[in-house]
Structure 1
Amino acid sequence: MKTRWIGTSWKMNKTSDEVAAFCQQILPALQGCPEWIQSFLIPPFPYVQQVGEALDSVDTLTGVQNICWAEQGAYTGEVSAKMAKDIGASLVEIGHSERRELFNESDHTVNLKVHAALEQGLMPLICVGDSLEEKRWGVSLESIVRQVKIALHGVSPEQLARVWIAYEPVWAIGEQGIPASAEEAESGLAAIRAGVRQCFGEACAEHTVLLYGGSVNPDNAAELLQQPNIDGLFIGRSAWQAEGYAQLLQIAASVDNEVACV
């Protein structure tokens, strides 16, 4: 059975009490997940260890939403990959569009952070996406492939096996986001896989984990997961409550059961 990656980033939301409640509520759903569903949670940095400890009995990965490219030094307010690993993180979300827009993240710093994560044995979850203007101009695919190629510059084929890539159209993110159709999501991820294939070859491209994120919800999750180049979902607000996340995990399991029975 093909592995499905189903996870969420909480962005700057939840307090310690809310984190504890979420973990308690979601635990039964995670315990009931089939083995081919790989769940992951990316809370705000102060709660990474809390989530990891609360869900220690299940196979759920935890991550951080950002790291610095440097290992240590005079970088006030920053967190290193080594620190993230030290508190139990397995994943590092890198290059989210909000980081790029609000905090001047560039393709170059994304690449530096990818290498910093890999050097510490962490899995980079690289986020790429096209703007509404790029969509209107018809250059979406060129834009996202460029971001992927720069992010992976200097990464070896062996390291690529530990990299995840999420396609998150900027125009599809947030409360005002316009959900992408399954065809649009598949088109973007097919282009990304083709770009990885061009740089690393067929075998590497075939095994690279590609996720879709951007206004994912219970109404469109099943259709998204049926697309050939979508290996999993990186979900926003629809998974911020335990009931919503549990429902999406159930949908993912049901979709793969249906596919297996065909």
Structure 2
Amino acid sequence: MTDPVPTATGPLWIGTSWKMNKGLAEARYYARGLADHLQRTALPGVQPFVIPSFTALAATREELGTDSPVLLGVQNAHWEDEGAWTGEVSVAQAKDAGAQLVEIGHSERREHFGETVATTRLKVAAALRHGLVPLLCIGESDEVKQAGGSSEFILDQAAGALDGLTAEQLRHVLIAYEPIWAIGEHGRPATVSELQEPFAELGREYGSRTAGLLYGGSVNLDNAADLLGIEHVTGLFVGRTAWQLPGYLRLLEIGANHPKAR
């Protein structure tokens, strides 16, 4: 496992969440192909990560191998270590199944499953307690954007989730800015100019204090390099473009060839 704590320059994080997709056979095929590719191809300056569904986590880990440079994550986890929480999976259980990273606070979790700033704070603390990397997702709606409140909104989301962390703990946290208006099948790809101010604010507050600031939202093969070029962006959190292995491998290549990776 690659050390997630940033160096002076830090790695470029290139990762994907499969959301509620892929059965075991598909997961194994993808992971086996990724493992084969990484045995033949070096990715200097790039930290790959993949977040499958819970059911595919162990199989994906098995195909990648224990010495893989790919960090494996889960899309959610409960903050309690154990107890009467029917249907939930704890961070400890996720780690036992092979997870090294926990996605926290995705807008779909906030909208459909009642995720709040308070629960994101509990989950970040739980991930750190068990030695996993918290990947905190933040992002504003189109209504907030149109009102001119994007930066204030996302900084409030981040501050609420990271409240009380020590400087050392914060160094292990990833933040993914995913504006709600730019994500999903019907999302509108953000322009570089639209992202400069939010990342300037995030960079001032967290750029030198966290493991990385990622962008997610309608990332594709045509805009990936430009998005990586935005000041303070140190990675991409990708959906549909990376769900098929060739797309993800091409994104890894784009990251490895980017000036920020050297």
> TM-score scaled to structure 1, two decimals?
0.92
Which residue of the other structure, out of 222, 229, 234, is the alignment partner of 1:231?
234
Q: Does the Cα contact within 8 Å between 1:148 and 1:192 map onto a contact in 2?
A: no
The CA distance in 2 between the partners of 1:85 and 1:226, in whole Å, is 33
Alignment correspondent of 1:53 = 62
Identify if the C-alpha distance between structure 1 residues 208 and 21 changes in structure 2 by more than 3 Å, giving closer, same or farther: closer
Alignment correspondent of 1:19 = 27
Q: Does the Cα contact within 8 Å between 1:189 and 1:229 map onto a contact in 2?
A: yes
Q: Does the Cα contact within 8 Å between 1:72 and 1:80 map onto a contact in 2?
A: yes
Letter in 1 for 2:89: V
Note if 1:40 corresponds to 2:49. yes
Letter in 1 for 2:44: E
Alignment correspondent of 1:98 = 108
User: Aligned runs of 1:103-182 on 2, under 5 Å?
Assistant: 103-182=113-192
Query: What residue ranges of structure 1 are gaps of 5+ in the alignment?
Result: 198-203
The CA distance in 2 between the partners of 1:18 and 1:163, in whole Å, is 30
The CA distance in 2 between the partners of 1:5 and 1:29, in whole Å, is 17
> What RMSD, in angstroms, separates the aligned Cα atoms of the two structures?
1.6
Identity, in percent, stands at: 48
Q: Does the Cα contact within 8 Å between 1:126 and 1:163 map onto a contact in 2?
A: yes
Q: How far is the alpha carbon of 1:142 from its aligned partner?
A: 0.5
Q: Which moved more, 1:162-171 or 1:42-51?
A: 42-51
Note if 1:4 corresponds to 2:12. yes
Q: Does the Cα contact within 8 Å between 1:166 and 1:212 map onto a contact in 2?
A: yes
Alignment correspondent of 2:98 = 88
Q: Does the Cα contact within 8 Å between 1:33 and 1:249 map onto a contact in 2?
A: no
The CA distance in 2 between the partners of 1:2 and 1:157, in whole Å, is 17
The CA distance in 2 between the partners of 1:220 and 1:196, in whole Å, is 24
The CA distance in 1 between the partners of 2:33 and 2:206, in whole Å, is 38
Alignment correspondent of 1:254 = 257
Q: Deviations over 1:14-41 (max 9, x none)?
A: 0001111111222343331323111000
Q: How far is the alpha carbon of 1:12 from its aligned partner?
A: 0.3
Q: Deviations over 1:51-77 (max 9, x none)?
A: 112112430000000011111111100
Q: Does the Cα contact within 8 Å between 1:185 and 1:212 map onto a contact in 2?
A: no
Q: How far is the alpha carbon of 1:189 from its aligned partner?
A: 2.1
User: Aligned runs of 1:72-87 on 2, under 5 Å?
Assistant: 72-87=82-97
Is the partner of 1:30 in helix, strand or coil? helix
Q: Does the Cα contact within 8 Å between 1:26 and 1:243 map onto a contact in 2?
A: no
Note if 1:212 corresponds to 2:221. no
Number of matched pairs: 252
* Regions of 4+ moved over 4 Å: none
Structure showing the higher helix proportion among its residues: 1
Alignment correspondent of 2:193 = 183
Alignment correspondent of 2:4 = none
> TM-score scaled to structure 2, two decimals?
0.92
Q: Does the Cα contact within 8 Å between 2:44 and 2:256 map onto a contact in 1?
A: no
Q: Deviations over 1:65-113 (max 9, x none)?
A: 0011111111100010110111111000000000000001001100011
Which residue of the other structure, out of 42, 63, 74, is the alignment partner of 1:64?
74
Q: How far is the alpha carbon of 1:2 from its aligned partner?
A: 4.5
Letter in 2 for 1:237: R
